[in-house]
Amino acid sequence: MNVATYPTRNLFRRRGRTILTLIAIALTVLIFNVLRTCDHGWQVGAEEAAKDRLATRHKVSITMQLPKRYIDDLRDPAKLPGIKAATWANWFGGKDPRERVPFFAAFAADHLSWFEVMDEMKVEPAALDAWKQTNNGAILGDVLAKTLGVKVGDDLTITSDIYPGDWKFKVVGIYMPLRKTADRNSMVFRWDYLNNKLHENPQSATPKDQIGWVMSRIDDPSKSAEISRSIDKMFDERDDQTVTMSERAFQLSFLGGASAIINAFKWVSLGILLIMLLILANTVAMSVRERTHEYGVLRAIGFSPRYVFNFIMGEAVLVALLGGLAGVLLTMVLINGVVGPFIEENMGAFFPYFRTPMHVFGLALIGAVVVGVISGVVPAIGASRRKVTDALRRVD
């Protein structure tokens, strides 16, 4: 028997209370992890996005387009050294007439260069060949293809929020993600198909030969800031100015307003730690109060105040740590096992990757231990400073 035995055995004295406290701490850790995972999932794209890729869009608005000829300037090594390849796309905004999904990302892209630049998506060479042969060919992400219930060779009719009418496509391929943050819920079809359709309809309100954004691959990722600046400088004197940024910053420019919500999640996650603190502090305070007499006895038989202090602190931290570990286990099973994959499939646009990372687990455990220390320290000081005679007199 050593001194650690006392706090350990104490856990079993009020079994009901200990179990309730452990459940409460595990639950708060789980909630903390969920909120932090939202934040992480939001930010992670930036870290995972290809470092050697830049997005160029209209400086003023995400809804305004650039003249198609800009791509020739971007591809010209004499004007812009350092760019290996460039491709472009236009937002189309897919809607399924049968409403199996409320909305999905569909865009028209240059079929000759798109997958060369967006190389985190794997497409079979046969599918790329078929794409070149098929004017209305489309390539879908594996998750979207499953949702829409289509396979290679099928016809697919969708509508758009921007372009009127029914749009008929032929599925020529399915792309597979090569990286965990790759979007598996998108559909790409040929830009020339869209552009020609717009030419066919003289009433169309949408101008022709316009491109939504440019994606470029650069030689040297360390020069990305410099190259971004030179791209924007090149178009600075033109009517339509550009802004060039990292790929994730580009994605976030559509969802800018949502960042305030994610920030709110961060604040709320501190709230749950506070609730954990209140619960544990209450448990410790109640236990210490009940045992005042006992601590008096310990002091009377020769244990120094420091022992009493350590007993109480040890017990508080032990409960916090055990509850924290249980919460971490619970998160691993629930978030990384069940909820994460579900969110990635259904809310891929917001959270391409939704798993609780190691550093959040670490943060949660540190949080739990800190909560344990804070909730233990006041009762521990109080109990260790109490006069032996006072403590012994207390019979609760």
Partner 1 sequence: MVPVRYNTRSLLVRKITTTLTAAGIALVVFVFAAAQMFGEGAKRAMLASGRADSVIILRKGSDAELSSGIGNDYKKLGDLPGVAQVAGVGAIGEIVIVITAELADGSGGISNVLVRGTPPEGLAFRPEVKIVSGRAPKPGTNEVIVGKAISGRFKGVGPGQSFELRRNRPLQVVGEFTAAGASYESEVWGDLDVIRKYLGRESVVSSVRVRLTDSSKFEAYRMAVEADKVFSVKAMRERDYYRKQSEGTQFLVYGFTGIAILFSLAAMLGAAITMNGAVANRTREIGTLRALGFSRGSILVSFVLEAMLLTLIGGTAGVVLVQILSLFSFRTMNFMTFSDVVITFQATPGIVIGALVFSAVMGLLGGLIPAIRASRVSPVEAMRG
Residue 338 touching partner 1 (CB under 8 A)? no
23-62 residues near partner 1, rule: CB under 8 A: 23-24, 27-28, 31, 35, 59-62
Tokens 């020769």 sit on residue: 302
Q: How far is the CB of 375 from partner 1 (least distance, A)?
A: 9
CA distance 290 to 40: 43
- Among the listed residues 239, 302, 306, 395, the single contact to partner 1 using CB under 8 A: 239
Residue 99 touching partner 1 (CB under 8 A)? no
- Beta-bridge mates of residue 190: 109
Strands 210-211 and 66-67 come out as: antiparallel
Residue 346 touching partner 1 (CB under 8 A)? no
- Beta-bridge mates of residue 215: 55, 87
Q: CA angle, corner 25, sides to 38 and 314, nearest 5?
A: 130
- For partner 1, how many residues bind (rule: CB under 8 A)? 61
Q: How far is the CB of 327 from partner 1 (least distance, A)?
A: 11
Residue environment code for 85-114, b if the CB has 16+ CB neighbours within 10 A, otherwise e = ebbbbbbbebbbeeeeeeebbbbbbbbebb
**In 3D, which of 73, 84, 380 has the Cα closest to residue 238?**
73
- Among the listed residues 243, 330, 370, 377, the single contact to partner 1 using CB under 8 A: 243
**x-or-dash string of contact with partner 1, 184-223, rule CB under 8 A:** -------------------x-xxx----------------
Those residues whose C-beta lies under 8 Å from the C-beta of residue 310, and which sit 6 or more positions away, are 3, 380
**x-or-dash string of contact with partner 1, 131-150, rule CB under 8 A:** --------------------
- Among the listed residues 4, 178, 225, 274, the single contact to partner 1 using CB under 8 A: 274
Residue 153 touching partner 1 (CB under 8 A)? no
- Among the listed residues 3, 4, 176, 258, the single contact to partner 1 using CB under 8 A: 258
Rg (CA), the chain: 30
Q: How far is the CB of 308 from partner 1 (least distance, A)?
A: 19
Q: How far is the CB of 79 from partner 1 (least distance, A)?
A: 19
Residue 347 touching partner 1 (CB under 8 A)? no
Residue 290 touching partner 1 (CB under 8 A)? yes
- Pick the closer one to partner 1 by CB: 35 or 150: 35
CA distance 13 to 11: 6
CA distance 191 to 291: 77
Residue 178 touching partner 1 (CB under 8 A)? no
Q: How far is the CB of 96 from partner 1 (least distance, A)?
A: 13
**With helix as H, strand as E and coil as C, how does 210-228 read?**
EECEEEEEECCHHHHHHHH
**In 3D, which of 195, 185, 187, 117 has the Cα closest to residue 159?**
187
- Among the listed residues 43, 136, 147, 159, the single contact to partner 1 using CB under 8 A: 159
- Among the listed residues 253, 297, 304, 387, the single contact to partner 1 using CB under 8 A: 253
Q: Indicate left, alpha or beta for 165 from its phi (over 0: left) and psi (-120 to 50: alpha).
A: left
Q: Which stretch binds partner 1 (CB under 8 A): 39-47, 117-125, 176-184, 235-243?
A: 235-243
- Pick the closer one to partner 1 by CB: 302 or 396: 396
Q: Is the dihedral of CA 384, 388, 390, 396 positive or negative?
A: positive
Residue 254 touching partner 1 (CB under 8 A)? yes
Q: What is the largest CA-CA distance in the chain?
A: 99
- Among the listed residues 282, 305, 363, 365, the single contact to partner 1 using CB under 8 A: 282
Contact criterion met (CB below 8 Å) for 144 and 187: yes
Residue 381 touching partner 1 (CB under 8 A)? no
Q: Is the dihedral of CA 157, 159, 165, 170 positive or negative?
A: negative
Q: Which residues bind partner 1 (CB under 8 A)?
A: 14, 16-17, 20-21, 23-24, 27-28, 31, 35, 59-64, 93, 95, 159-162, 164-165, 203, 205-207, 236-241, 243, 253-261, 264, 268, 271-272, 274-276, 278-279, 281-283, 285-286, 290, 396
